Amino acid sequence: MLLKHTTTKIKERSALTVNPAKTCQPIGAMYAALGIHGCLPHSHGSQGCYAYHRSALTRHYKEPVMAATSAFTEGSSVFGGQANLVQAIDNMFTVYKPDVIAVHTTCLSETIGDDIPQIASKAAAGGKVPEGKYVIHANTPSYVGSHVTGFSNMTKAMVDYFAEPGGEKTKTVNIVPGYVEPSDMEEIKRICAAMGIPIIMFPDTSGVLNGPLTGHFKMYPDGGVKIDALKKTGQSMGTLALGNLASSAAGFALDSKCKVPCKVLDLPIGLTGTDMFIDALRTMTGENVPDSLMFERGQMMDIISDMHQYFYGKKVGLVGDPDQLLALTKFLVSLDMVPTHIVTGSPAGKKFEAELREAVKDVPCDVNIKLGGDMYLFHQWVKNDPVDLVIGNTYVKYIAKDEDIPYIRYGFPIYDRIGHSYLPTVGYRGGIMMLEKILNALMDRQDRDATDVNMELVM
Amino acid sequence: MASTANADIADKHLLDGKDPEKIKQEMLRDYPPKIARKRAKQIVINKVDKDQNVPEISSNVRTIPGLIGQRGCCYAGCKGVVLGPTRDIINITHGPIGCGFYSWLTRRNQTDASTSEDGHNFMPYCFSTDMQDKEIIFGGEKKLEQAIQEAYDNFHPKAIAVFATCPVGLIGDDIHAVSRKMKARLGINVFGFSCEGYKGVSQSAGHHIANNGIFKNVIGNDDTVREGEFKLNLLGEYNIGGDAFEIERIFEKCGITLVSTFSGNSSIDDFANAHTADLNLIMCHRSINYVAEMMETKFGLPWIKVNFIGAQATAKSLRKIAQYFEDPKLTEKVEAVIAGEMPEIENALQMIRPRTKGKRAMMFVGGSRAHHYQELFTEMGMETLSAGYEFGHRDDYEGRKVLPDIKVDADSRNIEELEISPDQDRFKPRKSSEELKKLMEDGLAFSEYDGMMTEMKTGSMIIDDLTQHEADKLIESFKPDIFCAGIKEKYAVQKHGIPMKQLHSYDYGGPYAGFVGAINFYKDIERMVNSRIWGFLKAPWEKNPELAANYVFDE
C-alpha cells in the first residue's frame, strides 16, 4: 500500500493539511504570465519559489519554463527587496531582452510589504526599463487563496496595466479562458474562428507551453497574447470570462476600467458547458452557430446515447480546482453519472459551494463536498464509500492504486503522462476526448475483471 | 619578446578545438559590467599544475537576481534533500501550502518500509500547516502546535520534524519552543529546523542546518550495538532511483554491515544508532560532511570520501573500506565481489563503447554529482568539456586543502556552527594514531576530498551556478553530445537539439550507483546520444529545398 496510514476513521482537523489539493498563488501567476508573448515572469522572493514553480510547470508541460527571481537573502528579508528587484530588472532586460517582465510577489515579499509599483518606477527612473518595454505586477501572497487566485490576479494585472479605455468599440470579443491547458486555449480559439468571431484571448499559453522541437531554442516562443492586443481589449464589444474563480476578476476589471461588459460562464467543459459558451458567443455577437460546430455537438450527443449504459449510475470521486470541478460535475450529472465525493483545496467561497450543491441536487445519493479540503480526507471518503472512478491530478494515482479504482488524470499537476497540453477537454471535441477517457477507464476495468465466461467481445 | 609570445600560445589550452577563454569572454560580454566582473570569477578555465593545484573559483556566493539559474532554497536543501528520504518521520512544513506541495515526492527517493518492524512510511504524504493571512498577522505557533497534535492523533508516528518556511522567520514563530512543548506532551521526538528559504545562498545552507538538527536531536539517542562485522555509515546517499539499494546489495555481498544511510532508504532509528559504527563513508561531500566531522569529534569514528558512481570508482571505494578495516578476510571478499561483478561491466562496455567513444558531455548539477558522473562518462570513453555545481563550495571544486583560505561571508556566518566536543563516555577512537598514520602512509586518505577540478583536464570550463544565458552559449559554442542538469534545464537544452540527461531524477530511471547502476547508465547514455530523433530535426523539404523548383510544370 502506498498510503498505508490512511484509514477510514475520519478525525476532525483544523490545523494540519495532509496531501494538499491546491498549491500556492505564485505558480498560477507564473503560468498566466507565460501566456503573454515575449514575457519573462519574475518571482519576487527567495530563489526557492521560482525553482519550485519552474520545476512543477516543467514536469507538467515537459517544456522550457523560463522565469527569473529576486533571490532574496537574509539581508533583503530584513531590509526589503528593492535593490534585488531593481538589479533583476536591469539584468533581465540587458541579458534576456523580454518585451515585458511580469513580477509576482511571494509570501516573503508580501510579509515584508515590498511595494512593487514603487520599485518598478525606481527602476524606470534609473533607466533600467528600455523604451517600449514594460514591467507589470500582481500581488500574490501565498498565504491567501490558491494557485487559482494567483492566476486570476496576474490575469487581472494584464487588464490593469494594458487595457486602454476609450476609442471606437470593435466587433472583437475578449475571452479570458480560465486556468486551462494550452490545448484548451487553442480549442477555444478554433471554436471562435469557426463562428467567425474575432477574439482577444488572454492569457494564451498555446504555442508557449506546447511548442515544437525544431533544433532552435526560443527564449520567447511564438505563442502568447501580444501587448498590442491586450491594449485593445478595452475597445472590445464584450468579455466572456470562463470560470468564475480564475477569470471573473479580469473580466470585471475590464468592465470597470473600459466599460466592456463581462459575462461570466462556466468553463466550456461537457455538453451543456460548451452549449452555454457557444450560445453566449452567439448572443453577444449575433453570429450564427455554423454547421461544423453543430456537427461536432451531434457527434458528442451520439457517443453519449450510444454508450449511456456504461455511464449510468457510476459513482465518481473528483478532486481538483473549483472552476473545473463545477463544470465537470455538471458534465458527469448530464451523463447520469453520480459525483459522490468532491474536494478542492482552494477556498472557493460560499457562492461556489451553493452552485456545486445545486448541480448535484438531483443526484440519487448523499454527495460529500469539501472546499479547502485535502486528498487525505478525499481518500478517507473513498475508503468509506467506494466509487467506480476517480478523477484528479497525478497524486490521485496513489489513491487509485491503493483502492484499485479506475482513474482519469485531470487537472494540475499531471507529472506522469503527456496529452493534456496537446489534446483539449473543452468544447465538443474536448468533450469527446473526455468521454473516451471515461469509457476507456471504465471499460478497461470491465475487461480486466471479466471472467473466462463473461468476457465481452462487443461493447 | 618572441619567446614570451610563444609561451603564451603554448600556454593556451584548447577545449574541443576552441579557445575556452574566448568563449568565456563571449558569455560575459552580454552582462552589465558589474555582473560580468562577478561572473568572471565563477567561470574558470581549469589548469592543473604538477602539484595538483588548481585556480581559485568563486562559489557559494549570492545568486545574481534576474539571471535565471538552477538553484533552489535553504528549505529545499533541508526538508527536500536531507530529511526528505527518511520514511518514518512526519515532516511538517510550517508555512503557506506551496513549499510542502512542491517537495512532495518529487525527488524520487525510494524507500523499503518492509525492513522496519513498524513498517512506517510517511514519504508518500505531504504535511503542512497551510498558513493563512490570519497566522501571518497574529502568529502561527498555535496552529503549528495543533497541527503536531493532529499529526500524532491521526498517524501515531515515533517522530515529528518541523520545517520553517520564509514567512515563519519573519513573523518570529518559535518552532523550536513549540517542538519542545509537544515533545514533552506527546512523549515522542519532536524537533524543528529553522530552514527559511532566504537563508544562505542556496540549498547548501539547508544541508548544513539539516546536519546540525539531526546531530543535535537524533544521532546518539540509541546506544544499542548491533550485530555485524565491519560496521559503517553511508553519508550523502539519497537513494534516488534506488541507488542505495544497489550499494546495500554490494555491501551485503562483501559482508559489510551498514548501520545507517544519511538518508536514502533510512529510518530515524538508524540515525539514532549511527554513532556505534566504526567508519563513515561520504558520498555527497557537500550536503553531509558536517555530520561526519561532528561525529568524528564527538564519537571518534573517522570518515573517508568514497564514490559509488562508476564501476571503477565503486571498486576503488570498496578497496578503501577493506583497507581501513585491515582484515584479510574482508579484503579477500571485496576482491572476490569485484572480480565477480567486473565481467558484466566489461561486456556492457564492449557493447556500448563503440557508440559512445569520443562523445562530449557537460554537466551542471548538485554539489558532487557533476564530479561523480564524470567517472561514468570516462568509462564510456566520453570527455567532460565543462562542468559546475549549483551549490558547491570552493572545497568541492578545489579540494579541502583550501578550507583554511575560504572567506566566511555574511550569508554563511548566519548558519549556525555547532560547538562539538568529545563525548565523555562514548568517545572512542576507532584507530590509534599509529594505526591511522600507517594507513595514511599506505595511501588511505582520511577527512580528505580533492575536489572536482583536480580530476578535470586543463582547459575545461568550470562554471559555478550556471545561468541560462551561459548554458545557451555553451551549447551553441560546443554542440555537446549530451548535457546533464536538472528538470528546469531539460527541455530548453533539448529544444536546441541536444539530448539532456537529468542527474537529479535520472529521468525516472536508475539506479546508476554501483555495478548494476553503471550498466544502467551506460545503456541509457548510449541510447540518448544515438537516438534517431535528433536526425529528424529537419523535414525532407528543409533538407532539399531545391527539389521544389524542379516540379514546375507550367513552363
CATH code, A148 = 3.40.50.1980
| Contact residues on chain B for A16, CB-CB shorter than 8 A | 92, 127-129, 146-147, 150-151, 154
DSSP string, A251-300: HHHHHHHH---EEEE--SBHHHHHHHHHHHHHHHH-PPPPHHHHHHHHHH
Residues A106 and A243 in one domain: no
* The amino acid at B234: L
The answer to whether the beta carbons of residues A348 and A341 sit under 8 Å apart is no
Of A292, A327, A352, the residue that ends a domain is: A292
3-state secondary structure of A173: strand
Query: Nearest residue of B to residue A9 by CA position?
Result: B154
How does residue B387 score in pLDDT terms, banded at 50, 70 and 90?
Answer: very high
- Asked if residue A5 belongs to a domain, the reply is no
- Asked if residue B429 belongs to a domain, the reply is no
Of B174, B195, B217, the residue that ends a domain is: B217
User: Looking at the predicted structure, is the pLDDT value of residue B85 above 70?
Assistant: yes
Residues A132 and A80 in one domain: yes
C-alpha span between A321 and A63 (Å, rounded): 22
Residues A156 and A194 in one domain: no
Q: What is the mean pLDDT of residues B178-189?
A: 98
Tens of pLDDT, residue by residue over B138-158, are: 999 999 999 999 999 999 999
A37 is written with which cell numbers?
A: 508573448
Distances (CA, A) of B78 to B61, B69, B190: 18, 20, 16
Beta strands in A126-282 (DSSP E): 134-138, 173-176, 199-201, 238-242, 262-265
User: Looking at the predicted structure, is the pLDDT value of residue B284 above 60?
Assistant: yes
The residues of B carrying an active-site annotation are: 73, 76, 107, 207
User: Looking at the predicted structure, is the pLDDT value of residue B410 above 90?
Assistant: no
Measured between alpha carbons, how far apart are the two ends of chain A, in Å? Answer: 33
3-state secondary structure of B396: helix
Residues A190 and A70 in one domain: no
| Contact residues on chain A for B144, CB-CB shorter than 8 A | 15
User: Looking at the predicted structure, is the pLDDT value of residue A153 above 50?
Assistant: yes
Measured between alpha carbons, how far apart are the two ends of chain B, in Å? Answer: 68
- Asked if residue A16 belongs to a domain, the reply is no
C-alpha span between B175 and B162 (Å, rounded): 7
Q: What residues of chain B, 105 to 164, have a C-beta less than 8 Å from chain A?
A: 105-106, 119-122, 124-133, 135-136, 143-147, 149-151, 153-155
Contacts with B201 (C-beta within 8 Å, 6 or more apart), sequence order = A73, B60, B61, B62, B63, B71, B391, B411, B412
The pLDDT assigned to B3 comes to 47
- Asked if residue B550 belongs to a domain, the reply is yes
Residues A310 and A397 in one domain: yes
Residues B46 and B190 in one domain: no
B50 is written with which cell numbers?
A: 604538477
Tally the domains of chain A.
Answer: 3
| Contact residues on chain A for B75, CB-CB shorter than 8 A | 48
Q: Domain limits at B388?
A: 12-70+357-401+451-555
- Asked if residue B56 belongs to a domain, the reply is yes
Residues B65 and B207 in one domain: no
* The amino acid at B526: E
Closest residue by Cα to residue B27 from B480, B19, B458: B19
Q: What is the mean pLDDT of residues B388-396?
A: 97
The pLDDT assigned to B226 comes to 92
User: Looking at the predicted structure, is the pLDDT value of residue B5 above 50?
Assistant: no
User: Looking at the predicted structure, is the pLDDT value of residue A257 above 70?
Assistant: yes
Residues B80 and B143 in one domain: yes
Q: What is the mean pLDDT of residues B497-507?
A: 97
Of B170, B197, B217, the residue that ends a domain is: B217
The pLDDT assigned to A105 comes to 98
Closest residue by Cα to residue B157 from A398, A5, A16: A5
- Asked if residue A8 belongs to a domain, the reply is no
B271 is written with which cell numbers?
A: 540515525
Residues B190 and B120 in one domain: yes
The pLDDT assigned to B11 comes to 59
Q: What is the mean pLDDT of residues B122-150?
A: 98
CB-defined contacts A:B, below 8 A:
263
- Asked if residue A281 belongs to a domain, the reply is yes
Residue among B66, B119, B126 minimizing CB distance to A91: B66
User: Looking at the predicted structure, is the pLDDT value of residue B545 above 80?
Assistant: no
The answer to whether the beta carbons of residues B229 and B255 sit under 8 Å apart is yes
Sign of the dihedral defined by the CA atoms of residues B156, B162, B167, B171, in that order: positive
User: Looking at the predicted structure, is the pLDDT value of residue B530 above 60?
Assistant: yes
C-alpha span between A22 and A321 (Å, rounded): 7
Of A135, A162, A189, the residue that ends a domain is: A162
Q: Which of B131-140, B149-158, B209-218, B412-421 has the lowest mean pLDDT?
A: B412-421
Residues A105 and A116 in one domain: yes
Q: Which of A123-127, B501-505, B536-540 has the lowest mean pLDDT?
A: B536-540
- 3-state helix, strand, coil split of chain A in percent (to 5) is 45, 15, 40
Residues B46 and B171 in one domain: no
A311 is written with which cell numbers?
A: 455511464
DSSP B18: B
User: Looking at the predicted structure, is the pLDDT value of residue B1 above 50?
Assistant: no
The pLDDT assigned to B2 comes to 45
Sign of the dihedral defined by the CA atoms of residues B547, A213, A418, A293, in that order: negative
Sign of the dihedral defined by the CA atoms of residues A397, A358, A347, A57, in that order: positive
- On whether any CB of chain A is under 8 Å from the CB of B415, the answer is no
Closest residue by Cα to residue A352 from A372, A334, A336: A372
- On whether any CB of chain B is under 8 Å from the CB of A36, the answer is no
The answer to whether the beta carbons of residues A49 and A105 sit under 8 Å apart is no
- Asked if residue A95 belongs to a domain, the reply is yes
How does residue B550 score in pLDDT terms, banded at 50, 70 and 90?
Answer: low
- On whether any CB of chain A is under 8 Å from the CB of B96, the answer is yes
Percent of chain B residues past pLDDT 70, beyond the cut: 96
- HSE at residue B143, side-chain half, CA atoms within 13 A, is 25
Residues A266 and A158 in one domain: no
Residues A93 and A117 in one domain: yes
Residues B105 and B154 in one domain: yes
Percent of chain A residues past pLDDT 90, beyond the cut: 99
ipTM over 0.85: yes
C-alpha span between B438 and B436 (Å, rounded): 5
* The amino acid at B241: G
C-alpha span between A242 and A178 (Å, rounded): 5
A368 is written with which cell numbers?
A: 460529500
| Contact residues on chain A for B488, CB-CB shorter than 8 A | 51, 54-55, 58, 65
The pLDDT assigned to A95 comes to 98
Distances (CA, A) of B382 to B16, B18, B375, B481: 12, 18, 10, 10
Query: Nearest residue of A to residue B63 by CA position?
Result: A71
Residue among A13, A67, A107 minimizing CB distance to B150: A13
Cis peptide leading into B263, omega within 30 of 0?
A: yes
Residue B366 backbone class (left: φ over 0; alpha: ψ -120 to 50; beta: rest): left
Give kind and range of the element (H or E) at residue B527. Answer: helix B514-529
User: Looking at the predicted structure, is the pLDDT value of residue A61 above 70?
Assistant: yes
The pLDDT assigned to B12 comes to 73
C-beta neighbour count of A203 within 10 angstroms: 28
| Contact residues on chain B for A213, CB-CB shorter than 8 A | 494-495, 497, 533, 537
Residues A379 and A260 in one domain: no
Q: Domain limits at A191?
A: 173-292
Return the HEC string of B163-226.
EECHHHHHHCCCHHHHHHHHHHHHCCEEEEECCCCCCCCCHHHHHHHHHHHHHHHCCCCCCCCC
- Asked if residue B384 belongs to a domain, the reply is yes
Q: How far is CA B185 from the centre of its chain?
A: 37
Give kind and range of the element (H or E) at residue B24. Answer: helix B20-29
Q: Which residue, chain included where needed, has cell 553530445?
A: B481
C-alpha span between A160 and A157 (Å, rounded): 5
Q: What CATH number is given to the structural domain containing B502?
A: 3.40.50.1980
Residues B81 and B65 in one domain: no
How does residue B543 score in pLDDT terms, banded at 50, 70 and 90?
Answer: confident
- Asked if residue A9 belongs to a domain, the reply is no
A20 is written with which cell numbers?
A: 494538499
- Asked if residue A455 belongs to a domain, the reply is no
Residues B395 and B474 in one domain: yes
Q: What is the mean pLDDT of residues B221-249?
A: 97
Kindly report the average pLDDT of chain B as a whole number. 95
- pTM exceeds 0.90, yes or no: yes
Kindly report the average pLDDT of chain A as a whole number. 98
Residues A396 and A356 in one domain: yes
- Asked if residue B111 belongs to a domain, the reply is yes
Residues B513 and B379 in one domain: yes
The pLDDT assigned to B549 comes to 56
Residues A440 and A315 in one domain: yes
Of A243, A265, A292, the residue that ends a domain is: A292
Cα three-residue angle B73-B283-B514, rounded to 5 degrees: 120
- Nearest chain B CA: its distance from A53 CA (Å): 8
- Asked if residue B246 belongs to a domain, the reply is no
B250 is written with which cell numbers?
A: 554490494
Tens of pLDDT, residue by residue over B20-76, are: 999 999 999 999 999 999 999 999 999 999 999 999 999 999 999 999 999 999 999
C-alpha span between A179 and A380 (Å, rounded): 28
The pLDDT assigned to A115 comes to 98
Residues B109 and B33 in one domain: no
What residues form DSSP beta bridges with A280? none
Residues B64 and B85 in one domain: no
Cα three-residue angle A36-A82-B171, rounded to 5 degrees: 105
Say yes or no for a CB contact (<8 Å) between A55 and B487.
Answer: yes
User: Looking at the predicted structure, is the pLDDT value of residue B552 above 70?
Assistant: no
Q: How far is CA B74 from the centre of its chain?
A: 14
Tally the domains of chain B.
Answer: 2
Of B199, B217, B235, the residue that ends a domain is: B217
- Asked if residue B340 belongs to a domain, the reply is no
- Asked if residue A376 belongs to a domain, the reply is yes
The pLDDT assigned to B13 comes to 86
Residues A252 and A153 in one domain: no
The answer to whether the beta carbons of residues B472 and B69 sit under 8 Å apart is no
* The amino acid at B266: S
Tens of pLDDT, residue by residue over A363-411, are: 999 999 999 999 999 999 999 999 999 999 999 999 999 999 999 999 9
Contacts with B304 (C-beta within 8 Å, 6 or more apart), sequence order = B279, B280, B281, B282, B320, B321, B324, B444, B445, B446, B447, B448
- Asked if residue B416 belongs to a domain, the reply is no
The pLDDT assigned to B414 comes to 86
Percent of chain B residues past pLDDT 90, beyond the cut: 93
The pLDDT assigned to B254 comes to 98
Residues B373 and B508 in one domain: yes
Alpha helices in B236-300 (DSSP H): 243-254, 268-273, 285-299
B517 is written with which cell numbers?
A: 547502476
* The amino acid at B322: A
3-state secondary structure of A326: helix
